[in-house]
Amino acid sequence: MLPKAALVRATELPSPAGSRNPRRGCKLFVVTAHSPRLLGGTDAAARVADERDRLAVKKLRRFFNSWSGRWKTPTGEAWQPALAIEAMVNTYDRTRDVKYLSVVERSFARYRGRRSHFFDDDGWYLNAWLRAYDVTGDPKYLDEAEALFAGMTEAWDDMCGGGLWWNKDRGYKNAITNELFLLAAARLHRRVRTPTGEGGYHDWALRTWNWFDASGMINASHQVNDGLDGSCANNGGVTWTYNQGVILGGLVELWRITRDDTYLVRARQIADAAIDTLVDAESILTEPGEPETCSGDALIFKGIFVQGITRLYLADPENRPDYWTFLTANADSVWNASRGRCNGIGSAWAGPSGKPNAATQASACLLLGGIALLYAGGETEPAGN
C-alpha cells in the first residue's frame, strides 16, 4: 500500500552559499511539495524518497570502516552503531543492493557476542539483529538476538513490582531498557513461536507491558518520563523523544500478536502527545532543551522516535494520515534546512545544518529511509506473519 503523500519536485542546485571546497559530485536538492490531487500519482514522490535515502546513507557509510566493521559514533561503540545498522538494513530491505548488506554483515562480524554493562545497550543490538534476520533470513542473526534476550532477562527482579534494571549496578529502573525488552519479546514471539505460557516470549511481552503501564512512567499527559525514583515513582525525568518512540513499536508488536486494538489506542495517545509538544512552531521534531541538550546520546534520539511513528502508521495507515503528514514535513525540513555539504545532516532538523556525525546522520536516515520503505510497502515481516 502506498501512503497518500504529497508529490515532490527535486532540482539539483550548487552547494550552499558560503561552503568551502565542495566535493565534486555532491548533490543538493530543493524540494517543493504538491498535492497528489493536483499532480496525480505517487511515483514521483517515491523516486525522490528513494534518492534522498540513497544519498543520506552514502554519507552515513563514511563513518563506517569496512575493514574492521567499526562504526565511529559520538558515544563510541556502546549502542549507536545498532541504529546505523538498522538504517542500512532499511535501505537493503528496499533496494536489495549488496553494498548495504555488506555493511550489515561486516558490522555483525564485529559486534556479534558483544555484551554491555548496560542492559539497554544490548537491547539496541538485539532489535537491530532481528531486523537483519527478517530481511536476510539468515539464522545467525536470530540466534544472536535470542542470546541477547536471555541475558536481558537477568535484569528483571521484583523491585518496584518488576521491570529491568538499566545496568548491572541495579540502581535505576528506566523506561528505555524496558521498552526495548518489550519490543524484542513481542518480535521474538512472532519469529520463534515459543509456547504462550510462563517464560515464553509472549509471556515476557505481556508481563513487561503490564508492569510498564502500571509503573507510572507514562505520565498523565501520555508522555514517557525517563524512569523511576528511589521510591519506585515516576522521577519526572526528561521526556526524550526516543522514550516516546520505542514504546510505539512495542505497542504495535503487541497489537500484532494479540489483535487487541487497545494497544494501538495507547500508542496513538503517546504519539499524539509527542507530536503536540516535542516540536517547534512549524511542527518539526525537536529534542527537549535543544540545542543545549542535544549532544552525545541525544544526537540520535529523533530518528528513533520517527522509526516508532513509521511503524505505528504502517499498522493502521488509513486511520491516521496526519502521521504521514508529520513524517513528510520533517523529511522535507531535514532535507532542505538541516542538510549541508555532501548530504551531511546535523542534529537540528529545523536547521541550520551543523556538523554531521554518525549519530545525526543515522537519525536522519531512519526518517528518510523509513519513508522510502513505506513507499515500497513497509518493513519486511517474518515469514508466515
Percent of the chain with pLDDT over 90: 82
Burial class (CB in 10 A: 0-12, 13-18, 19+), 343: buried
Range in 13-27, 220-234, 298-312 with the lowest mean pLDDT: 13-27
What are the angstrom distances between the C-alpha of 124 and each of 98, 217, 346?
Answer: 23, 20, 22
Per-residue model confidence (pLDDT) at position 199? 86
**Cα 220 → chain centroid:** 25
Q: What's the whole-number average pLDDT of the chain?
A: 89
Per-residue model confidence (pLDDT) at position 354? 87
Pull the grid cell for residue 73: 559514533
pLDDT digits (tens, 9 = 90+) for 145-169: 999 999 999 999 999 999 999 999 9
- Checking if the pLDDT of 23 tops 70, the result is no
- Checking if the pLDDT of 7 tops 50, the result is no
What confidence tier does 185 reach under pLDDT thresholds 50, 70, 90? Answer: very high
CA separation for the pair 138, 38 (Å, rounded): 44
What confidence tier does 294 reach under pLDDT thresholds 50, 70, 90? Answer: low
Range in 116-130, 231-245, 311-325 with the lowest mean pLDDT: 311-325
Give the pLDDT mean for 53-75: 97
- Checking if the pLDDT of 16 tops 80, the result is no
Domains of the chain: 61-315+353-375 (1.50.10.20)
Residue keyed to cell 486494538? 261
Per-residue model confidence (pLDDT) at position 34? 30
